[in-house]
Structure 1
């Protein structure tokens, strides 16, 4: 399970789009070349440099709340990508194992899907949805460069302004072109890493929800075929065969359910620190960017912040929406089990069905940091927390102005 992928072997993986994107930005090695490790170090070093550069800028402008918060918003955005990259690099084997487990999970019910067009449509729809979601989010994130990168040249021509952190110690005079290029490259790379990992986990959760939906339909279609039961005792043997077949089908459904539950527990262990990192940084970045969009006197800063504002909220919403899909589809398994034709089934079928219903009624929750449940309610609470910090910054700004 922990065998590393190569670029060629990833072609058949369910997560190939996500894996190859993360490989291109220096996170997921799909090569055994030593040169790739050097590439990883360079990417990580760029993120560290961004933090050092931003820290120096904040230390020079800490009395100017507007300037300090703008730099801090960039630092937190880039820092989030760096922390996620660190989590991945620390334990790459778990991510390779997770990708292979996803492949196994999708193939778990492939036989049932191949014989039922409705089930096959659910799986194919989920895969198309994840591909569009990943590509759309990455393209939207890359489009922010069209707003942020040229804005200092357009809004402040001739002033030698930088896109993110200004070098106040030398008024942007030393290595201006190099600094401008490095800030653009770091901003693009770290944003792609951060959103790329969010899309990876959102993709997996959508695929898991689709597998639960398939399972719910399989359970709901369980029927005891007793078409000849009314002809007398001579049909008892045929009825017994029908009960045996239905019971075997139920056992297969229970095995599939157990495999999905095991995978969700494993996914929670891998995703939990990444989700917690994103939640914390999104709250901080959201309040800082909203503060800039509201109180900044520089129109170019306002335009940049308004265009960027949906991103921290969108990253959190990805997790909460996809995790809530799993919760809803897990509940649907219990409902489908109750609605199938268990009344006419034999006692062993009913006992097995009670076990399935009892387990399916337990909430299937994913957590951030193993303590914070990920669902739609969590999204609303995080938005409220971000707005509370924004209101606090607004009060501090009014007091400093007076």
Structure 2
């Protein structure tokens, strides 16, 4: 009863992710914090592209502003999507909660171990991502300090007073405002990544539970085997529906992030070769590590889900199916046939997100970066 009444925000598998989203009112509540966090980012993001077009600053700061503009666009899209589809996300999280509680209440010690491992991994990833996000925020604020000219952490265009934005006291005022904005953006960008990673890790957990159930068929009596296989088929349907719902929520955003990741990494590579000081080089490397690590985690867990769903059929085949009666063998064969279609996180509703796709993207990024370097050289 205590588990059933558990607040979704308190689910251990999410760590602090949902708590941060609730605090900033992206999910579960609707208050002024949402607008305090999003409004400055939307306004600045609109002016960033104008500033890039009209900029007379050095090339390294223009390139950095391009990176920040794309990053801000990605951040704003995440925040807007959460606000617009808030109730869809909350319904999905409640579905996950019901599945999670079902596994927590299991008497099977192996399932309990699998749940603990997944929870521990999810919390670890979320903490690492938050730490890297905090380091990146510090980099945003400190990067201009090491420049040869006076610039703001984020480029922006200010109508009527744009020519005075680097003069005191305007520069100090805008610098402080942008420094305050940095952690607010981090709480919009990083928790979303952590939430999607947790969704995918839970789908992987469901795959592993199915594999365990199928490999344990030999421990059951003959009259119990058919019922267990039918349970596995029903659970597989739940798993398939879970992944489909996840794709319906995130697939178009994955396409936006696919394009943004390519643009940002290419820009950062270019920034690395034109950085003026060692300190700026270190900060750019920190940017690259953060953005690359965030994307690699997403692609890795999506790739793991892709292959874990294949392993369901392998686990079924590894059972002692030759000892079952004909009807039970047919039921098991039906489950194996259903498992031949892998469960995939889709990018734009079309392409499966996996490490092969990431490798292709990195090859394209490096080719474009090489072209930019030759032109600049």
Work out whether the TM-score is over 0.5: yes
Q: What displacement does 1:106 show? A: 2.1
1:234 alignment counterpart = none
Q: Tell me if structure 1 keeps the 8 A contact 2:313–2:339.
A: yes
1:127 alignment counterpart = 119
Indicate yes or no: 2:268 matched with 1:289.
yes
* Gap change, CA 1:333 and 1:101, over 3 Å in 2: same
1:278 alignment counterpart = 257
Of the structure 1 ranges 56-65 and 287-296, higher mean CA displacement relative to structure 2 is found in 56-65
Q: Tell me if structure 2 keeps the 8 A contact 1:123–1:211.
A: no
Indicate yes or no: 2:164 matched with 1:170.
yes
- Inter-partner Cα distance in structure 2 for 1:101 and 1:93: 12
Q: Tell me if structure 1 keeps the 8 A contact 2:210–2:235.
A: yes
Q: What displacement does 1:301 show? A: 3.0
2:93 alignment counterpart = 99
How do 1:172-251 residues align onto structure 2 when only pairs under 5 Å count? 172-173=166-167, 175-223=170-218, 242-251=221-230
* Gap change, CA 1:363 and 1:7, over 3 Å in 2: closer
- Inter-partner Cα distance in structure 2 for 1:147 and 1:99: 33
- Inter-partner Cα distance in structure 2 for 1:130 and 1:370: 25
Q: Tell me if structure 2 keeps the 8 A contact 1:13–1:103.
A: no
2:349 alignment counterpart = 370
Q: What displacement does 1:305 show? A: 0.8
- Inter-partner Cα distance in structure 2 for 1:345 and 1:110: 30
Q: What displacement does 1:307 show? A: 1.4
2:82 alignment counterpart = 88
* Gap change, CA 1:12 and 1:163, over 3 Å in 2: closer
- Inter-partner Cα distance in structure 1 for 2:191 and 2:90: 16
- Inter-partner Cα distance in structure 2 for 1:110 and 1:346: 33
Q: What displacement does 1:396 show? A: 2.9
What secondary structure is seen at the aligned counterpart in 1 of 2:163? coil
Indicate yes or no: 2:107 matched with 1:115.
yes
What secondary structure is seen at the aligned counterpart in 2 of 1:278? helix
1:236 alignment counterpart = none
What secondary structure is seen at the aligned counterpart in 2 of 1:210? helix
What secondary structure is seen at the aligned counterpart in 2 of 1:309? helix
For the aligned residue pairs, the C-alpha RMSD in angstroms reads: 2.4
Q: Which has the larger radius of gyration?
A: 1
Gaps spanning 5+ residues in structure 1: where?
1-5, 226-241
Q: Which of 149, 157, 161 matches 2:151?
A: 161
Indicate yes or no: 2:309 matched with 1:330.
yes
- Inter-partner Cα distance in structure 1 for 2:58 and 2:151: 17
Of the structure 1 ranges 102-111 and 279-288, higher mean CA displacement relative to structure 2 is found in 102-111
- Inter-partner Cα distance in structure 2 for 1:7 and 1:53: 43
Counting matched residue pairs gives 368
Q: What displacement does 1:248 show? A: 0.8
* Gap change, CA 1:343 and 1:47, over 3 Å in 2: same
Q: What displacement does 1:150 show? A: 2.9
Q: What displacement does 1:262 show? A: 0.9
* Gap change, CA 1:224 and 1:130, over 3 Å in 2: closer
Q: Tell me if structure 1 keeps the 8 A contact 2:24–2:33.
A: no
* Gap change, CA 1:307 and 1:23, over 3 Å in 2: same
Q: Tell me if structure 2 keeps the 8 A contact 1:14–1:102.
A: no
Q: What displacement does 1:126 show? A: 0.2
1:3 alignment counterpart = none
* Gap change, CA 1:393 and 1:24, over 3 Å in 2: farther
Gaps spanning 5+ residues in structure 2: where?
none
Q: What displacement does 1:156 show? A: 5.1
Indicate yes or no: 2:366 matched with 1:387.
yes
* Gap change, CA 1:300 and 1:84, over 3 Å in 2: same
- Inter-partner Cα distance in structure 1 for 2:49 and 2:237: 49
Q: Tell me if structure 2 keeps the 8 A contact 1:26–1:43.
A: no
What's the TM-score once normalised by structure 1's chain length? Answer: 0.85
